[in-house]
Structure formats: C-alpha cells, structure tokens
Structure 1
Amino acid sequence: MVNPIRVAQIVGKMNGGGVEAVVMNYYRHIDRSKVQFDFLIDSDSSLVPREEIESLGGRVFEIPPYQHVIEYQRELQRLFREEGWKIVHSHINALSVFPLRAAKKAGVPVRIAHSHSTSGKGEYAKNALKAVLKTQSNRYPTHRFACSRFAGEWLFGKDANFEVVYNAIDLNSFRFNAEAREQARADLGLVGGQFVIGHVGRFMAQKNHPFLIDVFAEVAKCRDDAVLLLVGSGEDEDSIKALVDEHGLSDCVKFLGQRNDVNRLYQAFDVFVLPSLYEGLGLVGVEAQVSGLPCLLSDVIPREVDVTGECTFLPIDTPVEWADAICSLSKKSYEGRKSTSIDSFANYNIDQQAGWLSRRYLQLANGDII
C-alpha cells in the first residue's frame, strides 16, 4: 500500500475557535488513506483535540508561540527540513507570512496561504500589523486559498489568483428537527415558549459582545420572555459577564461555554444574531440558515454568507435598531420553522468539499502546481 501524503497544517493557537474547527471538520471527512494531517500548533494553545487527532492517524507538533518570531521560524524551519512535508498549509491569515517564509527557506515545494478573516474597525493595533503583513502576503505562498471571495481579495488583492475553499459542514446534522428542538430547550431549562436569541462565537473583540449585550438590554424592554444564549469561551468572557450583571440581565442571559453540540443548540434558538466587527465569512451564519433560523448579521459580514437570500444585515451603530428588528419578528416566523432543503447549500457539503480538497492535495503533491 502507498503511504498517504502528509500535509502540515499551521493553525496557530488551538483555543476552540472557528478556524481550527473548520480544519478538524475537513480532517474527519477527508480520505485519510490518501491524505493525512499533521498539526503544528502554538505551545500556549488551550484546547487541543490531541487524542482525536492521533486516533485518526495525525500528529501534533508544539512550536513556540508566533509572538516569538525568531524562535517560531527557527523551529518551523527545523521541522520542515526534518519531516520533509511536501505541502504546508497555513491558516493564520496575514500571519502566514512567517511560517511560509520558513517553509520556503526549508525548500517545501507547495506552500498554501489560507485567508479565513479580514479586519474591522476598533482593533487599531491589530489592523496596523495586518496592513504591514498584507504587503508580503503574496511573497511566500505558491498557492492561495480563501473561505470567501471577500476574504481572498482582502488578503491577496483583487487581482490575485486564489481558490475559494468553503468552510464546509455536515449539513444534515444542522437541519431543523421539531423533536430535537423540544429536547434541547428542555435540557437548557427553557420554560414554555420563551423567546430565545442565540449567538455562537469566541469571546473576543471581533465578535462584538458588548454591543450584543446592549442590544439584548433593549430587547428585554419589549420582550419579557426573551433569553440570550451565548455559546463559546474566550479571554473576554469575564468582562462580558460583568457587563451582563451591570445591566441586571443575569437571570435571562445564559453562558453555555465551549460546546461540541452546537448543532443541537441551534434547534433551541428562535433567532440567530452575529454583530461581528469583521468576518472572513461567518460560517455560523450558514449553520443557522441550515437550521431554518432567521438571521440578523452585521453589515460588514460578506454577503456570500447569505445562502438563502433571507438574512438581514444591519449596521453596528445603534443597538435600538437591532432590538427593533428582533422584536418585530412575529411568533409565526419561528413557530412555523421547518426543515431546510440542503440543495442550495451544496458548496458547504463537507463530503463533497473534503473530496475536492483531497484531490487537490494529491495534485499538488504529484507536482501539478497549477
């Protein structure tokens, strides 16, 4: 038997965020008899699914955090030379400059830069760094991937050649099911017909949780049955809990933490909200649509996320506008919820997309570098 090709996946810090979840989802569904993943992660990662990775045939290599640029690149260069990977696939957006520079120095023939994100207002220091790194974004990769056209053009430029690699999911696991909804709401301790607003995202500046809490404070004035469910974890979680306390909303805001059953939680929601400062795509918005939920998204999120054509995009300026949109949802809009046809979500079908990625890796490993 021919051994599978091994692809070095640069994922940065594994902290339960969206990018590493996407890579893991592909890994679970790819043809591992032909393609195997090795994960190169920062040593200060907090949520590493090492046991699952190793059970699937992969390996985990810990490297110095990317903030220590010299040590980071030195260790990567050593690993690239010793392990002899033909393909290095970096998922750390503008920071991919550093691992791909090391890969080029080590003679790795196929170097993929993958854009998963963009930038937005408010993160001045981060945006300044991104602006500098973007000037080098096309210097070291041999190939360019992006989760959306918007994300690709942001990192590589409007005239650059790149391939859109969709953040695919198991569509059937997200489809609406009335029995699953009833059970999920019971498990969460929801009473009767409480109106549930749901958000899925890491507690970090990008996700704009303070604005969301301000929105919910306004919703609570017009809907005394409203509940806000926050799924995720992160460095800003404690400050958001304090903000909820300040608003006197502790009884109707639930922090659900990092979960591996998010598909079930969507069943319990009545509306999905994502007021992010920026997104490369906003895959959770796709998941919510597959679940048949009405979606309110910030107007800086790429319109590519709107698969059904029924998402509402709002500016992230005034919480009252968001609250009015949420409160105006009639009961019929969520009581009449039904299972969504997945035909229009074909680009996000993990079985199809994992098959494509497997074939693409094999082409590249065999010297087809087009």
Structure 2
Amino acid sequence: MTKKKVLHIINLGMNGKAVFLCNVLEQTNFSKYDITILNFWGKTAALIAKRLEGLPIRIVVNRRKCGFMAFLSELKQLLKTEKFDVVHSHMWDLTGIFLGYAKWYGVPVRVAHRHNSQKVAGRYNPIKEFIRDKVVWNILKKAIELNANRYFACSNLAVNWLYTSKVANRGGRNYKQ
C-alpha cells in the first residue's frame, strides 16, 4: 500500500494550532501517511519541537530570509519536487493563496482549516484597518472558496467568520446555527 503524502502548512510557535497538530500527529498511523510540515515562521517553539522529535515526520523550515515572498518560494519548490496527495493549511487568511499554489501543482485534496473565530488583532491605523477588513479579507476569503476543496473549522463561530455561506452550506451540511 502506498502511503498518502500530506503537507501541513502551519506556524509551529507555541500556539493552539501547533498543539492541535501535535495531538493529531501523535495519534496518526504512519504506516499509511508520509507527513511533511512546512513551518511558516521558520522557528519551532521548544515544547512543540520536543513533542514532534520522536515522530517519523519531516519539518521544512523557511531556509531563506523570513518574509512572505520567501515562504511562497519555499512552498512552490516543495510542491514542484514532491507529489503531495493532501495539502492542509492552518494559516487562516493566507490559506487561499497557499492552496492556490497547491491547486496549480495538481494536489487533489486541498484543506482549509480555521482555528479562530475572529481576525487576529493588530496595530493598524484606521485607514489600513478599513482596507484590510473591507477589501483584503474579502479577496482572501474568495481565494479560499476557489482553491480549497475540503473545509474544517474548530467551531461554528470559526465557520461563520471565515467561510462564505456558499462554503459553509456546501455538500448538504449546514454549518450555520
């Protein structure tokens, strides 16, 4: 039996997403899956690294300078050289962009996974915040809808916040309350 090749895109800092992924991987049957993690920030929290070190997984860090464009270059290189069966993105708004690359490179299963039920607070001036909230977020949500073909969320609030109603109601499953 051929193993399914799975790529997780995540920030392995000390956060709930990383802990969630550790919990999943600790219960994974590795005779069926070949797991690669692409770490968005290039640094892994010590406690997370300790939990992952005994598992038969590969962690790829952004070897180039930190930054979004460098990460995209790393992602494209991975998708070109590996033939993943699944790409699972845990990166909220950027998920649509990452899964767009996965779609371009022929990955059949592209998972968008939302862990939060609201945007991450930042220090923005009112004009930047308006542009981000009214323009950028809507474009990024549309990119998720266009590029993902599987959708997960940790709560109904998370579904309602990130996914459009078209996605939330797809497949006869009504995630809205």
Shorter-chain TM-score above 0.5? yes
Q: With a CA cutoff of 8 Å and minimum separation of 6, indicate the structure with the bigger relative contact order.
A: 2
User: Would you say the 8 A contact 1:42–1:66 is kept in 2?
Assistant: no
Which residues in structure 2 correspond to 1:250-269 (within 5 Å)?
A: none
Query: What's the CA shift for 1:81?
Result: 2.0
Question: What letter corresponds to residue 97 of structure 2 in structure 1?
Answer: F
Question: What letter corresponds to residue 158 of structure 1 in structure 2?
Answer: S
Structure-2 separation of matches of 1:31 and 1:19: 20
Query: What's the CA shift for 1:63?
Result: 2.2
User: Would you say the 8 A contact 2:100–2:143 is kept in 1?
Assistant: no
Query: What's the counterpart of residue 19 of structure 1?
Result: 17
Query: What's the counterpart of residue 85 of structure 2?
Result: 86
Question: What letter corresponds to residue 153 of structure 1 in structure 2?
Answer: N
Query: What's the CA shift for 1:163?
Result: 11
2:9 is paired with a residue of what secondary structure?
strand
- Against the structure 1 CA distance between its residues 134 and 31, is the aligned structure 2 distance closer, same or farther, given a 3 Å change threshold? same
- Against the structure 1 CA distance between its residues 120 and 102, is the aligned structure 2 distance closer, same or farther, given a 3 Å change threshold? closer
Does residue 42 (structure 1) correspond to residue 40 (structure 2)? The answer is yes
Range with bigger deviation, 25-34 or 43-52 = 43-52
Query: What's the CA shift for 1:92?
Result: 0.7
- Against the structure 1 CA distance between its residues 3 and 136, is the aligned structure 2 distance closer, same or farther, given a 3 Å change threshold? closer
Larger radius of gyration: 1
Query: What's the counterpart of residue 109 of structure 2?
Result: 110
Question: What letter corresponds to residue 41 of structure 1 in structure 2?
Answer: N
Structure-1 separation of matches of 2:12 and 2:40: 8
Query: What's the CA shift for 1:54?
Result: 4.5
Query: What's the counterpart of residue 141 of structure 2?
Result: 134
Structure-2 separation of matches of 1:86 and 1:148: 26
- Against the structure 1 CA distance between its residues 52 and 46, is the aligned structure 2 distance closer, same or farther, given a 3 Å change threshold? closer
User: Would you say the 8 A contact 1:42–1:63 is kept in 2?
Assistant: yes
Structure-2 separation of matches of 1:134 and 1:45: 27
Structure-1 separation of matches of 2:171 and 2:7: 20
- CA RMSD, 1 decimal: 3.0
Query: What's the counterpart of residue 146 of structure 1?
Result: 153
Report % sequence identity.
25
User: Would you say the 8 A contact 1:42–1:64 is kept in 2?
Assistant: no
Which residues in structure 2 correspond to 1:211-230 (within 5 Å)?
A: none
1:9 is paired with a residue of what secondary structure?
strand
Which residues in structure 2 correspond to 1:107-256 (within 5 Å)?
A: 107-119=106-118, 123=122, 128=133, 129-160=136-167, 161=170
Structure-2 separation of matches of 1:64 and 1:163: 42
Which residues in structure 2 correspond to 1:323-342 (within 5 Å)?
A: none
Residue 29 of structure 2: which of 31, 49, 73 is its match? Answer: 31
Query: What's the CA shift for 1:50?
Result: 4.0
Structure-2 separation of matches of 1:34 and 1:77: 25
Question: What letter corresponds to residue 38 of structure 1 in structure 2?
Answer: T
- Against the structure 1 CA distance between its residues 103 and 122, is the aligned structure 2 distance closer, same or farther, given a 3 Å change threshold? closer
Structure-1 separation of matches of 2:61 and 2:119: 30
Alpha-carbon displacement from aligned partner over 1:284-315 (angstroms, at most 9, x marks no partner): xxxxxxxxxxxxxxxxxxxx9xxxxxxxxxxx
Aligned residues: 163
2:112 is paired with a residue of what secondary structure?
strand
Structure-2 separation of matches of 1:105 and 1:10: 16
> Structure 2 length as normaliser, TM-score?
0.76
> Structure 1 length as normaliser, TM-score?
0.39
Query: What's the counterpart of residue 4 of structure 1?
Result: 3
2:116 is paired with a residue of what secondary structure?
coil
- Against the structure 1 CA distance between its residues 66 and 18, is the aligned structure 2 distance closer, same or farther, given a 3 Å change threshold? farther
Query: What's the counterpart of residue 94 of structure 2?
Result: 95
Question: What letter corresponds to residue 87 of structure 1 in structure 2?
Answer: V
Structure-2 separation of matches of 1:130 and 1:66: 26
